[in-house]
Structure 1
Amino acid sequence: MSLVVRHADGETVIDALPGRTLRDVLREHGLSPYTRLTERANCGGRGLCATCGVRIREGPGPDHWHDRLADRFGYPRLSCQVDVRAGMVVELDEEKVVWGRRESERVE
């Protein structure tokens, strides 16, 4: 299945197996959800540090407690808590310093 990832250099289409975590798939294809600092200092995909945030433009709704709160308040969703499913379009949050900004704070 195809996963479309939007990033600073354009768009990348990835063939991914359903059911894997989005964080792992992104990292395996050289598209890290982390900043330079948090690439090394993170919780390893356990949903604790909130540094692997991405914007899911098309795909599954939030089902993890953190993602429900993030969605409610406009923050990025944790890629370590999202399973890859068909028809996903994901945007890497290139503007974050450590954690992602709220949607309303994005600079276009």
Structure 2
Amino acid sequence: MPTVRFRDRTIDCSRGALLRTVLRDAGLTPHNGLADRLNCGGLGTCGTCAVGVEGATSDPTARERRRLDFPPHDPDDGLRLACQTRVRGDLDVTKHDGFWGQHVDEDEGEDEDED
């Protein structure tokens, strides 16, 4: 049985479960602020459930790829939509700042002293 680690919680879930459902069933949300109420309800169209994921998941769906290729998201940030991502094994999930969770640490991996 896979485990999902999110915001200092560990949740057991079934293999193949949707990440959004796993979080919601545990009383957690993959959304920030008002996005918890203002979202597409898991249809993969709004992008507000974008999260960083480390671990075994399903491949991105076409709908997910299209949404994450559209601003304010950047396809190079490696985010996933919780509503489109199926849990295939243990996961570490991170929610970034911003309405859509789009504020991935921009200076990660960059030199600080660029002149």
Q: 1:48 to 1:72 in 2, by over 3 A?
A: closer
Supply the distance in 2 between the matched residues of 1:71 and 1:19 (Cα, whole angstroms). 26
- Specify the structure having the higher radius of gyration (Cα): 2
The CA deviation string for residues 52-101 of structure 1, in whole angstroms up to 9 with x for no partner, is 111102222642133474684205210000011112221222x22x1122
The equivalent residue for 2:106 is: 105
Letter matched to residue 58 of structure 1: G
Deviation by residue 1:25-59 (Cα, 9 ceiling, x = unmatched): 10111220011211111111000000011110222
2:52–2:95 Cα contact (<8 Å) kept = yes
Structure 1's 61 and 32: CA in aligned 2 closer, same or farther, altered over 3 A?
A: same
Return the letter of the residue paired with 1:63: P
Kept after mapping to 1: 8 A contact 2:20/2:30: yes
Shift in CA distance, 84/61, structure 1 to aligned 2, threshold 3 Å = closer
Number of aligned residue pairs: 102
**TM-score, scaled to structure 1:** 0.77
Task: State the Cα RMSD in Å.
Answer: 2.5
Partner of 2:30: 33
* SS in structure 1 at match of 2:21: helix
TM-score, scaled to structure 2: 0.73
Q: Which runs of 5+ in 1 are unaligned?
A: none
Contact 1:60 1:85 in 2 (8 A): yes
Identity across matched positions, percent: 34
Distance 1:22 1:90, change over 3 A: same
